[in-house]
Structures are given as C-alpha cells and as structure tokens.
C-alpha cells in the first residue's frame, strides 16, 4: 500500500471534509487521516451515526437480551430451571442505550487519536455562480475534497405516516417507555423481521405484513421460506402478499386494515404499529435537490469512484458521496468499504491497490433466531442469468454441534458454477450465520473454488463443518447426510 503523504501544516485549511459521522463518514475520515490528510468531520447529531446510536449496535444488544430470555424459557431439558423468569423491558432498553453511548464515545476517541476535528454543526449544499459549495451553519467551508456521507432515513407511505407514539419507526421501536402487548410490523425486510423477532421473543403478540411473496425479499427464496416457517412456529403471525390499506385509532389501540394474498380484506387491532417499509437517502438536510446535483430514485448519483454527479451527469469537482445516501445495499459495512475506496482514490493510491468494493459479493445478515447470513447470487438469480450451476445444501439438524447446542433449525446452501466450481453465492439460516458467512466471503474474494474448500480440514464439532457439508452435498459426497 502507498505510504501516507506528509501532513498538512497546522494553520492550513482541511484537505478533506466529511459530512456525516456514521460508519461511512467516520471510517472515511480515519482512513484519510492515516494517509496524511488534515480532516474535518461535520456531524450535527451522533458520532457513529444511526448504526452505532439507533441501528446496528443497540438493536443487537436488545436482540441478545431477547435471545437469552427465549433460550432460558426452554432450558429445562438442559437442566436449567428458571421458575419465576421474567423479562425486564426497561433494563434491556437501558442496556442498549448504554452500549450506544459507548459506541459514540469510542468514535470520539478515535477522532482524537487521529487528530480529526469534529464540528457539531449543520452542513448544506448551495450552488453559487454555477459552482457547488458546502456551507456549515451559513458559512462556506472549502476543501479540495468534500465527502457526503449523510446516510438515510425511514421511508414513509401516504397511508402510514409515523407519529412517534402509535405508529413508529425503528427509532421509537427500540426505545419505548414500556413493552407493548401487541405490535403490527409493516415490512418484512431485515429491520422488520429483527423487531418482530425481538418483541415476539419477550412476549408481545406480533403480526407482520409483507407486500411481496416472501419475507426478506433480497434473500434466497428457500432460506426465506424456511425462516418464515420457523418464525411462525415461534408465534409470529406472518402475512406475505399482503397489502396495507390503512389504520385508525380506536381508543388506545390501532385498527389496521389490509388485503391478504387471496385478496380478502382483513382487520387486526394492535397497540402499536411499526413502519419498516424501507429507507431513502437523507438528502433534505443538505438541500441536495436545490443544489442541482443528480438524484436517482431518492439517492445521490455518483460515478465508479464515488464522485458526485451534477444534474447533467457530470462529476462535481471535489465532491464525493458514499454509503446509504447513494443507494445500493443499505449496509453499514458497505458504507465503510466505500469510504475507504473513495479516500484511497482521492489520495492518489494506485488503482490496482485500492480496496475497491465488489457489490456482487456484499454480505448481508438478519439477526433473528434462526439467524440469516448471505453473500452473492441466490439460486434464483443464478438461474435467471443463465448460469449452469450446482447447488449444495446441508441441514443444521445433521450436525453434531447443532444437536448439542439445540440449534438444529436451518441449513447452509451454496451456489457453485458447474464447470469451474466458482463460489457464486452462499446462504445460511441458523447457528451463527452472520459470522459463518464471513469465511465464504473470504473464499470468494480469494477466488477459491469448491475444490479448495473440499480439501480443507475443519475442526470438529463446529458449525463450520456444516458449510463444508454443503459443498460436499453439491457433488454428492456428503458424509453425514
């Protein structure tokens, strides 16, 4: 990797200004500092962004509490007797907020270590004399390189406008003053499913509506269907192919109307409604529309090196955008990777050495039980693209480790090129799927084929053996199946 250039003199202006302190922005800022750049980050709300403060991290703290509670409730056969077991909702929420505060402080400490200046102010774009400029609290802040990493915000639909009290976004859903007795979740993407699992596990009656034919629409259909069955067994009422029609307040509850997959009108009365219908670029705060930059379906448009495009599609000199605000998979790790690639390019690192982002291999995870982890093409997409493939599947129930831990739901599924053995995709339901998928990401990134995986000896008994079992199954060589 190219060595960092000399640091700019203390009295000079910044080399790089980053707008947004989330997982895209703060990672870009630190990488720029590592490469010898003088960096300023403009973040008016929370260092660490939504991920650290209201998303990825604190929700995982809540989910961990729910997982432990659910495990203990069924622990009698393991010799764990929990008479009088109860869930303290307030304590779980307080713990998640404590974790979030720790994340926020951690980013601040990293800024100090890397001599990054943080401006707790509001940034906006403005075009003057045909030139795009950045203003912070009304004053222009200029730099050779300005990176927009402003993230995304919950999307709303006209018939379901959150009020923060009865109709919620994920912000309110993870910090309610008390646990609701019943909850309806509109949208069965990762956010909707995670909240549905959490509240159901702690005793809330949960109903889920999804307009598309499957939950987790971006996942392999076989994995999604098996998860739907498992969540239904846990007590979650799931309606796919369902159209939300509206809701009205009746006393202290909400009457929700929807049309099911058979076209029949239905009603359900719940205490709270969670809107999880997706997110859109957080562009209003920076006045992107009035600044004349190109906006594509609610997100900032960029070129292959994250250079911001103007309304005519040409790069804006010195401006870049990364992360959720440019669309694509809306994932924290994708934003961080884009931040690094963007900074390495503007710092002059050789193109062949830049850590470029391969969206075709971008992993995803859904943190429910059983857990989901995935990477690359689904079986359906591979066949739709006309690829000749081998598919291997190995169930958790055939694993000694899974039997010992009681995590027997789910499977590992791999999609391989029939001729070369290239790993085209991998999909995991069960165990520690979000961690297990990492090994397959590395295998694909290193251009390993099924042959190398089959020739690798893995420790026993582990969940990792299930992954190898899926490769064996693709060739009809599975030992324990």
Q: Show which residues are catalytic.
A: 460
Angle between helices 25-34 and 89-113 (to 10 degrees): 30
DSSP, collapsed to helix, strand or coil, labels residue 226 as: helix
Q: How many whole angstroms separate alpha carbon 271 and alpha carbon 206?
A: 10
Dihedral of the CA atoms 334, 339, 342, 346 (nearest 10)? -170
Burial class, 263, CB count within 10 angstroms (exposed 0-12 / middle 13-18 / buried 19+): exposed
Strands 205-210 and 237-240: parallel
Q: How many whole angstroms separate alpha carbon 416 and alpha carbon 355?
A: 25
Burial class, 84, CB count within 10 angstroms (exposed 0-12 / middle 13-18 / buried 19+): exposed
Ramachandran quadrant class, 430 (left: phi over 0; alpha: psi -120 to 50; beta: rest) = left
Q: Kindly give, in sequence order, each residue whose CB lies less than 8 Å from that of residue 104, ignoring residues fewer than 6 positions away.
A: 46, 47, 48, 52, 53
Retrieve residue 353's tokens. 């050495």
Residue where the block lists tokens 């190109």: 294
- 132-159 burial, b for 16+ CB within 10 Å, e for fewer? bbbbbeeeebebebbbbbbbbbbbeeee
The sign one gets for the Cα dihedral 239, 240, 241, 246 is positive
């Amino acid at each position: 990797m190219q060595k960092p250039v000399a640091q700019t003199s203390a009295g000079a202006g910044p080399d790089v200004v980053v707008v947004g302190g989330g997982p895209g922005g703060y990672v870009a800022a630190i990488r720029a500092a590592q490469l010898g750049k003088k960096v300023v980050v403009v973040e008016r709300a929370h260092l660490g962004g939504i991920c650290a403060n209201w998303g990825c991290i604190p929700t995982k703290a809540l989910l961990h509490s729910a997982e432990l509670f659910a495990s203990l409730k069924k622990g009698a056969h393991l010799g764990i007797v929990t008479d009088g077991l109860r869930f303290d909702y307030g304590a779980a929420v307080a713990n998640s907020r404590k974790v979030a505060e720790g994340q926020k402080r951690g980013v601040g400490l990293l800024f100090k270590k890397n001599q990054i200046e943080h401006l707790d102010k509001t940034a906006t774009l403005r075009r003057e004399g045909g030139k795009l400029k950045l203003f912070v609290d009304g004053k222009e802040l200029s730099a050779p390189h300005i990176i927009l990493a402003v993230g995304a915000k919950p999307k709303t639909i006209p018939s379901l406008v959150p009020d923060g009290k009865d109709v919620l976004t994920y912000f309110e859903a993870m910090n309610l003053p008390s646990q609701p007795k019943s909850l309806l979740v509109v949208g069965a993407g990762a956010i909707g499913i995670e909240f549905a699992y959490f509240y159901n596990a702690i005793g809330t009656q949960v109903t889920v509506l999804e307009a598309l034919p499957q939950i987790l629409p971006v996942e392999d259909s076989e994995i999604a269907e098996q998860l739907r069955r498992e969540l239904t067994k846990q007590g979650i009422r799931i309606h796919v192919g369902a159209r939300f029609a509206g809701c009205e307040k009746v006393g202290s509850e909400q009457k929700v109307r929807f049309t099911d997959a058979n076209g029949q009108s239905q009603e359900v009365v719940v205490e709270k409604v969670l809107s999880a219908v997706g997110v859109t670029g957080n562009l209003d705060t920076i006045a992107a529309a009035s600044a004349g930059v190109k906006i594509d379906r609610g997100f900032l448009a960029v070129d292959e090196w994250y250079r911001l495009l103007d309304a005519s599609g040409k790069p804006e000199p010195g401006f870049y955008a990364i992360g959720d605000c440019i669309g694509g998979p809306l994932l924290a790790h994708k934003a961080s990777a884009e931040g690094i690639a963007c900074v390495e390019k503007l710092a002059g690192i050789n193109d062949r050495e830049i850590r470029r982002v391969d969206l075709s291999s971008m992993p995803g995870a859904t943190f429910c039980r059983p857990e989901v982890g995935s990477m690359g093409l689904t079986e359906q997409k591979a066949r739709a693209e006309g690829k000749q493939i081998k598919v291997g599947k190995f169930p958790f129930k055939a694993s000694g480790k899974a039997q010992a831990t009681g995590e027997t739901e789910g499977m590992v599924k791999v999609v391989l090129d029939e001729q070369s053995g290239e790993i085209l995709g991998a999909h995991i339901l069960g165990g520690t799927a979000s961690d297990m998928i990492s090994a397959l990401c590395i295998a694909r990134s290193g251009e390993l084929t099924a042959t190398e995986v089959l020739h690798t000896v893995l420790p026993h008994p582990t969940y990792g053996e299930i992954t190898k079992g899926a490769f064996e199954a693709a060739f009809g060589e599975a030992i324990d199946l």
